[in-house]
Copies of this chain bind each other. A is one copy, B any other.
Amino acid sequence: MENQDIKKAGLKITLPRVKILTLLEKHGGHLSAEDVYKILLDEGEEIGLATVYRVLTQFESAGLVVRQNFEGGQSVFEIDSGTHHDHLVCIKCGKVEEFLDATIEKRQEAIAKKFGFTIKDHALVIYGCCDKAECNLE
């Protein structure tokens, strides 16, 4: 239940928070704050854009959602599944695929060690064209 997750994060259970978290869970994908705001509007919810941004940031701090900074300006958010993964993004249609490659993850550790870095986070995004016909024209 979303409510318990919100409570565990030390946040009060409010309608905007429940709606936003439920939406992210149902949608399952990668949504920008604007996306969330518009979908909620379509669903008849009167939740302010500032609240959407504020709540998404709080959820990120609480570990409920993960922020991804793909190219294109806007951050996108997804439910924190608990297991890290990286992304493939189609530059034509926006499709996003997720992957986790143990070899790549291990190599990163070796590289960090070599340079004396302690890894806190990383982001690997592969941009390309997916296999849909309309994404392969030229």
Partner-B contacts on A (CB < 8 A): 69, 71, 88, 90-91, 97, 99, 101, 103-104, 107-108, 111-112, 114-131, 136
Contacts and interface: CB of A to CB of B under 8 A. Distances in A.
How many copies of this chain does one complex carry?
Answer: 2
A107 to B, nearest CB: 5
B126 A111 contact: yes
A119 B128 contact: yes
A117 B97 contact: yes
A129 to B, nearest CB: 5
Contact of A107 (B101, B115, B117, B122): B101
Nearest to A69: B71
B136 A128 contact: no
Nearest to A102: B107
A90 B117 contact: yes
